[in-house]
Amino acid sequence: TQLLEQSPQFLSIQEGENLTVYCNSSSVFSSLQWYRQEPGEGPVLLVTVVTGGEVKKLKRLTFQFGDARKDSSLHITAAQPGDTGLYLCAGTDSWGKFQFGAGTQVVVTP
């Protein structure tokens, strides 16, 4: 069973558009991480969020952790082709179980 549900599974947008991907669960998470994976490479950590309601920014990427620590979102402003990749969320729930979501494949075309 998938502890973390990511949506959408696939997103294709034009350069300059904004996008949001979601990571949801019925469980409470002590922390949640976002990774980006490019073809032929392993995932690379983008950010870790630990506090409910927390917002972190990384250039054009904005990460939010839900107040109840059950969900998170990643918003990309003015997407660029270099943002293309598989975005994965991962977290540890209150039972100590750590799991990755299935990921959202983002394609940004020029």
Partner 1 sequence: NAGVTQTPKFQVLKTGQSMTLQCAQDMNHNSMYWYRQDPGMGLRLIYYSASEGTTDKGEVPNGYNVSRLNKREFSLRLESAAPSQTSVYFCASSAWGDGQPQHFGDGTRLSIL
Q: Which residues does residue 108 pair with via DSSP β-bridges, in sequence order?
A: 13
Q: Which DSSP symbol is given to 96?
A: S
Q: Under the criterion CB under 8 A, does residue 27 sit at the interface with partner 1?
A: no
Q: How many residues does the chain have?
A: 110
Nearer to partner 1, 39 or 110 (CB): 39
One-letter amino acid of 90 = A
Q: Under the criterion CB under 8 A, does residue 98 sit at the interface with partner 1?
A: yes
Q: Under the criterion CB under 8 A, does residue 31 sit at the interface with partner 1?
A: yes
Before 8, cis peptide (omega within 30)?
yes
Q: Under the criterion CB under 8 A, does residue 25 sit at the interface with partner 1?
A: no
Residues found near partner 1 in the complex (CB under 8 A): 2, 9, 30-31, 33, 40-45, 48, 88, 90, 92, 98-103
